[in-house]
Amino acid sequence: MNKITAAITAVGGYVPDYVLTNQELEKLVDTTNDWILTRTGISERRILKGEGKGTSDLCVPVALEICKKRGISPEEIDLLIVATVTPDMTFPATANVVTDKIGAKNAFGFDISAACSGFLYALDTGARFIESGRYQKVMIIGADKMSSIIDYTDRTTCIIFGDGAGGVLLEPNTEGYGIIDSILKSDGHGREYLHMKAGGSVKPATLETVNAREHYVYQEGKMVFKYAVSNMAEAARDVMQRNKLTADDIAWLVPHQANKRIIASTSQYIEVPEEKVMMNIHRYGNTTAGTIPLCLWDYEKKLKKGDNIMMAAFGGGFTWGANYIRWAYDGDQYGK
């Protein structure tokens, strides 16, 4: 029998309705539309509003869209992995909340915390379950309600992040389509430059931590930028080299959407031209684990069976990596 690979068979996405524009941010902090656009490429981002709404509420429409497209019931899902750094609660896992909300009664689920690389980590993990031959339907969702951990008085971070989610279904394939290879890396020394100071076991929430605004993203943007540029590009190059792929062989680069300048330097490094680079940062900002599947969602109709797709990400941890996918279906088979 041919080797089993984990093919992506459907994509889903969801962004909340509320649009937070650069113009609105100009009223909140000392910034300008021009600065944000030229330094990051972001025009607007989406924010999940409403009491009692969390990351699971971003995941539910994604999961249901995927089930609808594939014509399956949530009860057919074997496993749900949610990549997020903004879980509904510290525990249980958001995946458990989502399986309950969608009625995925036969699925087990867990979360992966790898910040902006979370979707790539989760995708690669999910692929192993399919390749084992024991599981038939594994759903992977990258989702973050970043607005829950962003300080809207800090102009260096509030301009970047937004809320959103995207996901895919993985199913067994014996024709060589699906997740072919990946390089995933982490380096914990990078936590110094990008983290949330309080709310974990080292520094549980107190009145003091709240007053000191320590439950928000802390980022040294310049350092993160520097590491992101080199690591994301090198991971993509290494995956290409070991699979003997040239830039001409790549149909699409799907980069994590953190900053359009990081995206540009990654694509230039591996010599993939702009027209083959998926980009939606201008509309959604950085949705952390959501960016890569949201790109797939936006571009799904353009994807063709057999396309070589290179995904690359860098994020808090530090974490980074690149995944090589051979696309399994013509994207226009699903209307959106």
Ligand X SMILES: CC(C)(COP(=O)(O)OP(=O)(O)OC[C@H]1O[C@@H](n2cnc3c(N)ncnc32)[C@H](O)[C@@H]1OP(=O)(O)O)[C@@H](O)C(=O)NCCC(=O)NCCS
Active site members: 116, 256, 286
Under the binding rule (CB under 6 A), the answer on residue 259 touching ligand X is yes
Q: By beta-carbon distance, which residue lies closest to ligand X?
A: 221
Closest CA to 55 of 154, 167, 170, 159: 167
By CB under 6 A, name the one of 225, 252, 324, 329 that touches ligand X.
225
Q: Is 26 in the site for ligand X (CB under 6 A)?
A: no
8 vs 217, beta carbon nearer ligand X: 217
Omega of the bond leading into 318 within 30 degrees of 0 (cis): yes
- Residues in CB range of 311: below 8 A, 6 or more apart: 119, 120, 123, 253, 254, 255, 292, 322, 323, 324, 325
CA–CA dist 117, 149 (Å, integer): 18
Nearest approach, Cβ of residue 207 and ligand X (Å): 29
Q: Is 230 in the site for ligand X (CB under 6 A)?
A: no
Q: Which stretch binds ligand X (CB under 6 A): 105-113, 154-162, 174-182, 237-245?
A: 154-162
Q: Which two tokens stand for residue 120?
A: 């790539």
Site for ligand X contains 221 (CB under 6 A): yes
Q: Is 233 in the site for ligand X (CB under 6 A)?
A: no
Give me the phi and psi of 150, to 5 degrees please: -110, 135
Question: Is 103 a residue that touches ligand X (CB under 6 A)?
Answer: no
Q: Does 47 bind ligand X (CB under 6 A)?
A: no
Which of residues 69 and 283 has its CB atom nearest to ligand X in the complex?
A: 283
Minimum distance between the CB of residue 322 and ligand X, rounded to whole angstroms? Answer: 14
Which residues have C-beta within 8 Å of that of residue 109, sequence separation ≥ 6? 79, 80, 81, 82, 93, 95, 96, 98, 99
> Strand, coil or helix: what is 150?
coil
Q: Could you list the residues that contact ligand X (CB under 6 A)? A: 31, 35-36, 39-40, 116, 155-156, 159, 219, 221-222, 224-225, 228, 258-259, 286, 314-316
